[in-house]
């Protein structure tokens, strides 16, 4: 329960300990906290005995060793102090940024190692059973385990920071079901990686891509024994005179092999989800943003109930630097999607799709052209192509918005342009008005002379009507120009000036009302004085008459 004076301080009775807080700060050491616990004596003890006092310098380790009840009281007292909360909040922000940097390094390291290991297999420079491949996968597994541990540690710091911001002494209050689901989802994303070993689980497609015949292909997803046996069988079919003592019936069956079957190996299926780790880079941008690190920005956000989350930071960056953000997004999508298409499209005969073909497939999918000269042959490749098309439509919409913003005139440029256009229209309107007067007088003169059937009269009348038409057209253009000049900024400025004028008028009216009230009060006083004076004069007159 909380005290009525301060709801954050616990109630204390005569038998309960009274906790006094005193904060000790040092610039070179960790901030220490001095707690004074005063224990009151029981009612049976004598009143003249002094109260026992114990001074404890509390840190995190000693706080954990305290009894549960005493630790709760100390935590409530510490949370009630603003200086302690601000210092702890600053330290938690520093720890969270450091953990975010470490997570970003480990996540990007795992992605780079995964790409290196896969490219060595794609280019047939290495095999899945070699020691180097196993070493790289083991390194990826080790970094993934550390990354998952850092994920839980990061959210622990985040929960502690939430408790400090809201004066909560128990972190379980802030751990909701949604928060638990997000933590487990993030840990699962960071946990997916190609495991050490060699497995041949395949994800095929109903669509079979036709391949050319070739005999020198070595499949990196088959074991070395099968590759050697395949080469021997192929050589024996081409050169039947050579006797081969190796029995191939138990290891290789040429009748059941489908050399044109496309599929996605399990290493690729476990490698592609590793790109979801790039969300850590987005989190790093948020943590390193000046909006999050600046104390004044945080204070303004708290006052206006605006939380500095990742969507807010990204919208702020796009608003400030739209071209750089859009270019970075498109280039990142280009490399990731191209490599994903190359990894997804695998064929027993032709191997993985080349990087140039994957790049071309990304371009025609991103721009929603779709020539059809290169198509993915697996469900995985089709999914990547579909996602690329959706991202391309989204990027096109952003590109249109950015170009529109760049081509839009500023307020000063718009004023200058409208002013020059208005002057030109006014000049043209005066010229056409002069032409109307000139050709109108000429038509009247020719008509008075009786020459209304000749060609000069018809030409003058035609020019008169043309001038009148141009006058009306320019007048309409002037109206449109005046309408275009009125934007939201002008309306806001007019509304601001109008509200200022109304406010000044209301103040003057209130001053006039006060003056009128004062004048009424003085008139009432004058009236009362006149009445009093009249009474005195009447009294004096009555006395004079009595004499």
Domain boundaries, the chain: 57-204+258-266, 411-514
- For residues 468-489, give the mean pLDDT: 82
CA-based nearest residue to 120, from 261, 267, 229: 267
Confidence of residue 22 (pLDDT cuts 50, 70, 90): very low
Residue 368, pLDDT score: 86
Structure-block tokens of residue 463: 């020019």
Residue 132, pLDDT score: 85
Confidence of residue 133 (pLDDT cuts 50, 70, 90): confident
DSSP H helices, 239-354, are 266-271, 279-287, 290-293, 295-303, 310-320, 322-344
Between CA 384 and CA 181 the distance in angstroms is 27
Confidence of residue 201 (pLDDT cuts 50, 70, 90): low
Task: Assess whether pLDDT exceeds 80 at residue 69.
Answer: no
Instruction: Say if CB 382 and CB 395 are below 8 A apart.
Output: no
Confidence of residue 274 (pLDDT cuts 50, 70, 90): very high
Q: Which residue has the higher pLDDT, 407 or 80?
A: 407
Residue corresponding to tokens 């970003």: 104
Residues belonging to the chain: 547
Residue 262, pLDDT score: 63
Confidence of residue 261 (pLDDT cuts 50, 70, 90): low
3-state secondary structure of 355: helix
CA-based nearest residue to 381, from 329, 337, 350, 331: 337
- In this predicted model, what pLDDT tens digit does every residue of 148-168 receive, in sequence order? 999 999 999 988 888 887 777
Task: Assess whether pLDDT exceeds 90 at residue 103.
Answer: yes
Q: Spell 232-269 as b/e; 16+ CB within 10 A means b.
A: ebeeeeeeeeeeeeeebeeebeeeeeeeebbbbbbbbb
Which distant-in-sequence residues (6+ apart) come within 8 Å of 504 by Cβ? none
State which H helix or E strand residue 33 sits in: strand 32-39
Instruction: Say if CB 99 and CB 153 are below 8 A apart.
Output: yes
The mean-pLDDT minimum among 96-105, 121-130, 403-412 falls in 121-130
Residue 39, pLDDT score: 39
Residue 275, pLDDT score: 93
Between CA 309 and CA 292 the distance in angstroms is 9
- In this predicted model, what pLDDT tens digit does every residue of 523-539 receive, in sequence order? 999 999 999 998 889 88
Confidence of residue 280 (pLDDT cuts 50, 70, 90): very high
- Mean pLDDT comparison of 40-49, 103-112, 318-327, 451-460, highest-scoring range: 103-112
Q: How many CA atoms lie within 13 A of 71 on its CB side?
A: 12
Residue 266, pLDDT score: 81
Structure-block tokens of residue 511: 């001053």
> What totals of helices (H) and strands (E) does the chain contain, helices first?
17, 7
Residue 263, pLDDT score: 67
Please state whether beta strands 52-58 and 32-39 pair in parallel, antiparallel, or not at all (unpaired).
Answer: antiparallel
- For residues 307-313, give the mean pLDDT: 81
- For residues 520-525, give the mean pLDDT: 91
Q: Which residue has the higher pLDDT, 79 or 511?
A: 511
Q: Which residue has the higher pLDDT, 54 or 311?
A: 311
The mean-pLDDT minimum among 306-310, 319-323, 484-488, 508-512 falls in 484-488
For the chain, give the mean pLDDT.
75
Confidence of residue 458 (pLDDT cuts 50, 70, 90): confident
Residue 414, pLDDT score: 80
Structure-block tokens of residue 431: 């010229």
Structure-block tokens of residue 497: 């000036």
Instruction: Say if CB 204 and CB 263 are below 8 A apart.
Output: yes
Q: What is the CATH number of domain 411-514?
A: 1.10.287.70
Confidence of residue 516 (pLDDT cuts 50, 70, 90): very high
- In this predicted model, what pLDDT tens digit does every residue of 187-199 receive, in sequence order? 999 999 888 877 6
Confidence of residue 74 (pLDDT cuts 50, 70, 90): low
DSSP string for residues in 399-443:
HHHHHHHHHS--HHHHHHHHHHHHHHHHHHHHHHHHHHHHHHHHH
Task: Assess whether pLDDT exceeds 70 at residue 433.
Answer: yes
Eight-state DSSP code of residue 130: S
Residue 236, pLDDT score: 40
Residue 83, pLDDT score: 66
Residue 143, pLDDT score: 94
- For residues 419-444, give the mean pLDDT: 90
pTM of the entire structure? 0.61
- In this predicted model, what pLDDT tens digit does every residue of 352-379 receive, in sequence order? 888 898 999 999 999 888 888 888 888 8
Between CA 230 and CA 214 the distance in angstroms is 13
Between CA 423 and CA 418 the distance in angstroms is 9
């Amino acid at each position: 329960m909380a005290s009525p004076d301060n709801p954050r301080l616990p109630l204390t009775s005569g038998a309960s300990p009274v906790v006094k807080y005193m904060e000790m700060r040092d610039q070179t050491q960790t901030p220490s906290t001095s707690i004074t616990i005063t224990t009151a004596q029981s009612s049976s003890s004598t009143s003249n005995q002094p109260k026992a006092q114990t001074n404890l310098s509390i840190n995190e380790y000693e706080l954990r060793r305290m009894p549960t009840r005493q630790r709760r009281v100390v935590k409530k007292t510490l949370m009630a102090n603003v200086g302690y909360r601000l210092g702890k909040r600053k330290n938690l922000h520093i720890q969270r940024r450091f953990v975010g940097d470490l997570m970003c390094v480990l996540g990007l390291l795992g992605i780079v190692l995964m790409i290196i290991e896969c490219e060595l297999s794609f280019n047939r420079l290495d095999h899945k059973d070699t020691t180097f491949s196993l070493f790289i996968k083991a390194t990826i597994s080790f970094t993934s385990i550390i990354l998952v541990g850092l994920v839980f540690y990061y959210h622990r710091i985040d929960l502690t920071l939430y408790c400090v911001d809201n004066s909560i002494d128990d972190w379980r209050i802030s751990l909701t079901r949604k928060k638990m689901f997000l933590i487990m989802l993030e840990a699962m994303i960071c946990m997916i990686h190609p495991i050490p070993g060699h497995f041949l689980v395949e994800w095929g497609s109903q669509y079979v891509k036709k391949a050319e015949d070739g005999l020198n292909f070595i499949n990196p997803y088959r074991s070395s024994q099968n590759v050697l046996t395949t080469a021997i069988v192929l050589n024996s079919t081409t050169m039947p005179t050579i006797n081969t003592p190796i029995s191939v019936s138990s290891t290789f069956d040429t009748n059941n092999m489908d050399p044109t079957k496309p599929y996605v190996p399990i290493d690729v299926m476990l490698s592609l989800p590793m790109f979801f780790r790039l969300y850590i880079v987005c989190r790093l941008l948020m943590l390193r943003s000046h909006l999050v690190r600046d104390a004044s920005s945080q204070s303004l956000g708290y006052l206006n109930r605006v939380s500095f989350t990742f969507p807010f930071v990204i919208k702020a960056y796009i608003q400030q630097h739209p071209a750089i953000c859009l270019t970075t997004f498109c280039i990142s999508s280009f490399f990731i999607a191209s490599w994903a298409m190359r990894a997804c499209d695998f064929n027993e005969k032709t191997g993985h799709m080349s990087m140039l073909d994957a790049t071309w497939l990304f371009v025609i999918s991103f721009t929603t052209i779709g020539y059809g000269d290169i198509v993915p042959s697996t469900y995985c490749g089709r999914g990547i192509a579909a996602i690329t098309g959706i991202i391309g439509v989204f990027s096109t919409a952003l590109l249109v918005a950015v170009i529109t913003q760049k081509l839009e005139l500023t307020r000063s440029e718009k004023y200058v342009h409208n002013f020059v256009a208005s002057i030109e229209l006014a000049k043209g309107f005066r010229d056409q008005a002069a032409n109307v007067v000139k050709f109108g007088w000429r038509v009247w003169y020719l008509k008075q002379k009786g020459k209304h059937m000749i060609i000069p009269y018809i030409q003058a009348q035609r020019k008169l009507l043309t001038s009148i038409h141009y006058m009306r057209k320019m007048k309409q253009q002037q109206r449109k120009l005046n309408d275009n000049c009125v934007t939201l900024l002008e309306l806001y400025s007019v509304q601001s000036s109008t509200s200022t004028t109304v406010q000044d008028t209301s103040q003057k009216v209130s001053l006039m009302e006060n003056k009128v009230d004062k004048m009424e009060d003085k008139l009432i006083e004058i009236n009362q004085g006149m009445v009093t004076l009249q009474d005195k004069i009447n009294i004096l007159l009555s006395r004079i008459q009595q004499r």
